[in-house]
């Protein structure tokens, strides 16, 4: 027997859940969501330990706008600004905290004029990216897409400290080095931290705060929720209810006249079929190309199969004493096994009084590959990962 519905959504990450919610809520379609894992969220996943809730994947977002802003409001979620200092750097045996500290690091390792020129260059390029109404093959954006991020730094005379620190950032964000990611792809991510940054005068440079700032003393423009970004995906799952079917592995999507038949194995291993008017493929491109192979053009399959995905590992350490609470995210020097150390309790301590003054803690290290081609961390045992991180 073939089940009938209007829309089948394959994948229950944020994309699939949002599509299903919008189609059901705004457009009143009957929707079924099929997810092969035993949970929703994709990379947006969290853990819980003795009253602490901590992110195991997606950590934060910028200030929500558009559909996401509407979605948060509809789901009645409480958005939380991540308290400052949001970022810190470890370099040369020293910590640099917050906007002032990180600016001081760049000025010390290059010069005040180089730092100001860097900020202004990033802002200018990011503005051009946002304001572009079309992509011109011979335009500035196309030129940025043809050069690597490292080439961009080198051509603009931004020295080792910029290349080293942003190589760490690129590995953490994309799973690719600055020799692999294009300048066009990376500049908007760099600009996230510099949209409102003003040039620093010599007088102000001499007064930059190099000490650890008071927690929450500045706005960060970076947001999450008390229970992490997973609050969004879990709320969507709750709204969709029985429409979400976990442990349901799709094997094929085939056209049948003006409709589609989706075949999947359910949690018990039984083969099932659903007929629908539409199918939404909200899964990684190579998987979409495989399960809908007969319904995609050769060009579509070729493009989807060319998309490279990087792997990364997170390790969460539960400690009886606080090990790191200097900032939300500590970026380490290039060359370390991991790229970042997160205080996994940072947001919850700020907004949940029941855990605020606890002496125990959780910190998370992010282990990113040195290249998107590098799969070595995914093949390491848990013990080897732990030993390499200590």
pLDDT digits (tens, 9 = 90+) for 164-198: 999 999 999 999 999 999 999 999 999 999 988 99
Mind listing the pLDDT tens digit for each residue in 209-248?
Answer: 888 888 888 899 999 999 999 999 999 999 999 999 999 9
98-125 residue pLDDT tens:
999 999 999 999 999 999 999 999 999 9
- Per-residue model confidence (pLDDT) at position 390: 82
Q: Are residues 45 and 158 in the same domain?
A: no
**Confidence grade of residue 128 (pLDDT, cut at 50, 70, 90):** confident
Show the tokens assigned to 46: 């969290």
Q: What is the pLDDT of residue 158?
A: 97
pLDDT digits (tens, 9 = 90+) for 148-166: 999 999 999 999 999 999 9
155 shares its domain with 187:
yes
Instruction: Looking at the structure, tell me whether residues 105 and 212 fall in a common domain.
Output: yes
Higher-pLDDT residue of 27 and 243 is 243
Residue 168 shares a structural domain with residue 243 = no
Specify the pLDDT at position 254: 96
Examine the domain organization and report whether 118 and 184 are in the same domain.
yes
Predicted confidence (pLDDT) at residue 305 exceeds the cutoff of 80: yes
Calculate the dihedral angle through the C-alpha atoms of 168, 157, 205, 212, rounding to the nearest 10 degrees.
10
For 317, other C-beta atoms within 10 Å of its C-beta total: 16
Average of per-residue pLDDT values in the chain: 94
**Comparing 43-57, 133-147, 363-377, which segment has the lowest mean pLDDT?**
133-147
Pair 327, 241 in one domain: no
Whether residues 134 and 39 fall in one domain: no
* Cβ burial, residue 352 (10 Å; 0-12/13-18/19+): middle
Angstrom CA distances, 7 to 10, 123, 238, stand at 10, 42, 19
Instruction: Give the predicted TM-score (pTM) of the model.
Output: 0.91
Instruction: Give the domain-ending residue among 271, 288, 306.
Output: 306
Picking from 190, 221, 252, the residue at the C-terminal end of a domain is: 221
The pLDDT, as a whole number, for residue 57 is 87
- Using 50, 70 and 90 to split pLDDT, how confident is the model at 132? low
Q: How far apart are CA 149 and CA 76, in angstroms?
A: 40
Domain that holds residue 374: 313-389
Which pLDDT score, from 0 to 100, does residue 266 have? 96
Is there a contact between 248 and 265 (Cβ–Cβ < 8 Å)? yes
- Do 246 and 217 lie in a common domain? no
% pLDDT > 90, the chain: 88
Question: How does pLDDT run across 48-74, given as a tens digit for each residue?
Answer: 999 999 998 889 999 999 989 999 999
Shared domain for 71 and 96, answered yes or no, is no
Q: Residue 273: pLDDT band by 50, 70, 90 thresholds?
A: very high
- Domain count across the chain: 3
Determine the Cα–Cα distance for residues 363 and 342; give it in Å rounded to an integer. Answer: 6
Which of residues 276, 306, 336 is at a domain's end? 306
pLDDT for position 211: 83
Tell whether the model's pLDDT for residue 251 goes beyond 90: yes
Per-residue pLDDT, 212: 85
**Do 385 and 317 share a structural domain?**
yes
DSSP H/E element including 53: strand 52-55
């Amino acid at each position: 027997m073939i089940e009938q519905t209007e829309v089948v959504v394959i994948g229950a990450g944020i994309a699939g859940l949002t599509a299903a919610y919008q189609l059901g809520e705004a457009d009143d379609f009957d929707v079924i969501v099929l997810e092969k894992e035993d949970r929703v969220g994709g990379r947006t996943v969290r853990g819980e330990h003795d009253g602490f809730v901590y992110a195991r994947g997606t950590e934060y977002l910028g200030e929500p706008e558009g559909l996401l802003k509407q979605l948060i409001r509809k789901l009645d979620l409480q958005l939380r600004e991540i308290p400052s200092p949001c970022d810190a750097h470890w370099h040369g045996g020293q910590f640099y905290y917050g906007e002032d500290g990180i600016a001081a690091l760049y000025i010390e390792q290059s010069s005040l004029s180089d730092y100001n020129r860097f900020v202004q260059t990033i802002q200018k390029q990011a503005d051009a990216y946002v304001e572009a109404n079309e992509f011109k093959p011979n335009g500035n954006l196309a030129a940025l897409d043809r050069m690597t991020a490292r080439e961009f730094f080198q051509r603009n005379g931004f020295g080792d400290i910029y290349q080293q620190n942003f190589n760490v950032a690129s590995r953490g964000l994309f799973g690719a080095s600055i020799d692999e990611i294009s300048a066009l792809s990376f500049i908007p991510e760099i600009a996230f931290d510099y949209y409102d940054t003003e040039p620093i005068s010599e007088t102000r440079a001499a007064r930059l705060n190099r000490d650890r700032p008071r927690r929450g003393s500045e706005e960060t423009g970076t947001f999450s929720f008390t229970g992490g970004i997973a609050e969004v995906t879990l709320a969507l799952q709750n709204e969709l209810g029985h429409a979400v079917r976990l442990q349901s592995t799709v094997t094929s999507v085939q056209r049948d006249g003006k409709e589609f038949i989706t075949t999947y194995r359910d949690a018990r291993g039984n083969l099932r079929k659903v007929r629908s008017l539409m199918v939404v493929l909200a899964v990684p491109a190579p998987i979409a190309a495989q399960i809908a192979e007969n319904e995609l053009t050769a060009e579509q399959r070729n493009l989807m199969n060319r998309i490279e995905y990087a792997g990364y590992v997170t390790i969460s350490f539960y400690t009886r004493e606080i090990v790191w609470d200097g900032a939300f995210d500590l970026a380490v020097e290039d060359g370390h096994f991991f790229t970042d150390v997160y205080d996994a309790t940072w947001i919850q301590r700020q907004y949940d009084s029941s855990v605020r003054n606890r002496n125990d803690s959780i910190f998370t290290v992010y282990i990113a590959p040195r290249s998107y081609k590098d799969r070595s961390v995914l093949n390491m045992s848990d013990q080897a990962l732990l030993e390499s991180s200590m």
